[in-house]
């Protein structure tokens, strides 16, 4: 990160020069901040902010990281805008201090049971004879579906068209510029309740930050946790958070299915606490350590010191495992019964589990057995250096948001963002020549 230092001039025109140079520095800082990416992962447990700087060819440098306890959110839906705004402000402030950067706008994530997805096919008659397909034709095809499935109280979060077919024959990725008389495509829409989306955006903007884009949790996580091959050949991304699980099916780089399941890490903890009559903190400790306990313990029962009373209790590992596996079974049943995920299984090769509760006991084995697919854990795997805090399953979404911002930034890069260091320093020399020459 280049730091611009204020210079104090002691001469006749000192006051004027200092004032002008201060103004120039502020403008230059804005130019530099325009080249910086800022993202916020708003979870039920934590709010994480990352500041990154693109360094070319898809690489980026992490400049700062901030985290705050999340308040005002329940299962991905805002229940207290003021509390959530305060959490965002704390997380952003920490990231700004760490990176020495002012954050003005961000890309954020979204989840919640108000989200639903629609998969359908649309066909558009272009002309009675082959004509060149335009971008307007492509948008018109997508709007046909929107009018049918998006109601007044709903808003589109993601719209993905794929497998374009021209004149009923060839499948293409991008039809623009090709000749055809009819065009059809598969379309995936992720829609959400307008009021819930608006509350999330306004909670962030109440902290003085503009929201540039909103990205579905699992779609963002797939950007960092899936390999290039998995994204092309097909994968199911399962992102298990604190209070819900987000699922995305990715094929040929496209989001072709998505859903939200109202079960997360806190449900496993509550089950353990309730059944074994333990405090929440002790139950959380047992949940996180169950995989290690199952591997290392030579006995079926262990002694556990409770956090609330320092009382020592004996816990059966077999019983503890059965409590967790019962909830895992429910999660998998909901994933398979309440969604259309089965019809996508023939088109994918891998299941990747990520998120803060990814390593809950039994999930990897039971999910692989139910789907008959290879299952692995997913952590951010990018071509850029990451700090230790961003190398675990819990960081997949926030790192994925950075990746998403890089991709969308390339598509929408402005003239200001394309300014080179050479042109900026030419401007600095011009200021010096004018006032000191």
Rg (the chain; Cα; Å): 25
pLDDT, mean of residues 199-204: 96
* Rounded-to-integer distance, Cα 288 and Cα 282, Å: 10
pLDDT at 382 over 70: yes
Number of neighbours of residue 166 by Cβ within 10 angstroms: 20
- 223, with CB counted inside 10 A (0-12, 13-18, 19+), is buried
Residues 99-114 pLDDT 10s: 999 999 999 999 999 9
Q: How confident is the model at residue 11 (pLDDT cuts 50, 70, 90)?
A: very low
pLDDT, mean of residues 261-269: 96
Q: Where in the chain is the domain with CATH 3.30.1490.110?
A: 116-194
Q: Residue 104's closest CA among 173, 34, 165, 46? A: 34
Q: Where in the chain is the domain with CATH 3.30.420.40?
A: 1-111+195-226+381-437, 228-380
Q: Does domain 228-380 have CATH number 3.30.420.40?
A: yes
Asked if 287 contacts 265 with a C-beta cutoff of 8 angstroms, the reply is yes
Asked if 186 contacts 162 with a C-beta cutoff of 8 angstroms, the reply is yes
Q: Where are the beta strands (DSSP E) in 147-234?
A: 154-166, 170-172, 179-180, 182-193, 210-216
Number of neighbours of residue 146 by Cβ within 10 angstroms: 17
Q: Which CATH architecture has domain 116-194?
A: 2-Layer Sandwich (3.30)
CA angle 285, 286, 289 (to 5 degrees): 85
Residues 271-320 pLDDT 10s: 999 999 999 999 999 999 998 888 877 778 888 888 878 788 899 999 99
Residues 31-43 pLDDT 10s: 444 479 999 999 9
Q: Residue 53's closest CA among 40, 36, 66, 38? A: 36
Chain position carrying tokens 């080249």: 35
Chain position carrying tokens 């409590």: 323
Lowest-confidence segment of 189-193, 323-327, 337-341, 371-375 by average pLDDT: 337-341
pLDDT at 412 over 70: no
Residues 145-187 pLDDT 10s: 777 777 778 888 998 888 999 998 878 888 999 999 999 999 8
Cα 118 to the center of its chain, rounded Å? 20
Domain covering 1-111+195-226+381-437 in this structure, CATH number: 3.30.420.40
Q: Residue 394's closest CA among 270, 224, 271, 200? A: 224
DSSP secondary structure string for all residues of 403-427:
HHHHHHHHHT--TGGG--HHHHHHH
């Amino acid at each position: 990160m280049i730091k611009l230092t204020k210079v104090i001039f002691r001469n006749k025109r000192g006051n004027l020069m200092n004032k002008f140079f201060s103004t120039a520095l502020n403008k230059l800082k804005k130019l530099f901040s325009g080249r910086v990416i800022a993202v916020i992962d708003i979870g039920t447990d934590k709010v994480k902010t990352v500041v990154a700087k693109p360094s070319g060819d898809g690489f980026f440098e992490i400049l700062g990281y901030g985290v705050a306890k999340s308040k005002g959110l329940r299962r991905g839906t805002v229940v207290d805008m003021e509390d959530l705004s305060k959490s965002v402000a704390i997380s952003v402030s920490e990231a700004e201090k760490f990176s020495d950067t002012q954050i003005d706008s961000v890309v954020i994530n979204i989840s919640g049971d108000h989200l639903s997805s629609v998969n359908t096919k649309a066909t558009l008659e272009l002309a009675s004879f082959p004509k060149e397909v335009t971008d307007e034709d492509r948008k018109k095809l997508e709007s046909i579906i929107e009018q049918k499935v998006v109601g007044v109280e709903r808003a589109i979060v993601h719209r993905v068209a794929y497998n374009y077919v021209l004149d009923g024959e060839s499948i293409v990725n991008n039809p623009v510029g090709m000749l055809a008389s009819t065009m059809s495509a598969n379309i995936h829409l992720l829609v959400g309740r307008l009021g819930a989306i608006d509350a999330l955006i306004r909670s962030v903007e109440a902290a003085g930050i503009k929201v540039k884009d909103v990205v579905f949790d699992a779609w963002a996580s797939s950007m960092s946790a899936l390999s290039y091959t998995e994204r092309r050949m097909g994968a199911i991304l399962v992102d298990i958070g604190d209070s819900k699980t987000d699922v995305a099916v990715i094929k040929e780089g496209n989001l072709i299915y998505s859903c939200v399941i109202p079960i997360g890490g806190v449900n496993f903890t509550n089950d353990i606490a309730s059944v074994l009559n333990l405090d929440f903190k002790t139950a959380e400790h047992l949940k996180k350590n169950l995989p290690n306990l199952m591997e290392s313990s030579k006995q079926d029962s262990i002694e556990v010191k409770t956090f609330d009373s320092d009382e020592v209790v004996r816990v059966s590992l077999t019983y503890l495992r059965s409590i967790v596996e019962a909830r895992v079974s429910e999660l998998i049943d909901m994933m398979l019964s309440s969604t259309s995920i089965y019809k996508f299984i023939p088109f994918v090769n891998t299941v990747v589990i990520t998120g803060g509760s990814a390593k809950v006991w039994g999930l990897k084995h039971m999910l692989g057995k139910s789907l008959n697919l290879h299952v692995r854990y997913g952590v951010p795997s990018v071509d850029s250096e990451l700090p230790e805090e961003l190398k675990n399953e819990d960081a997949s979404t926030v790192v994925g948001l950075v990746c998403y911002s890089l991709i969308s930034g390339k598509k929408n890069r402005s003239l200001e963002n394309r300014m080179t260091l050479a042109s900026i320093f030419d401007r600095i020399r011009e200021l010096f020549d004018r006032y000191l020459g």
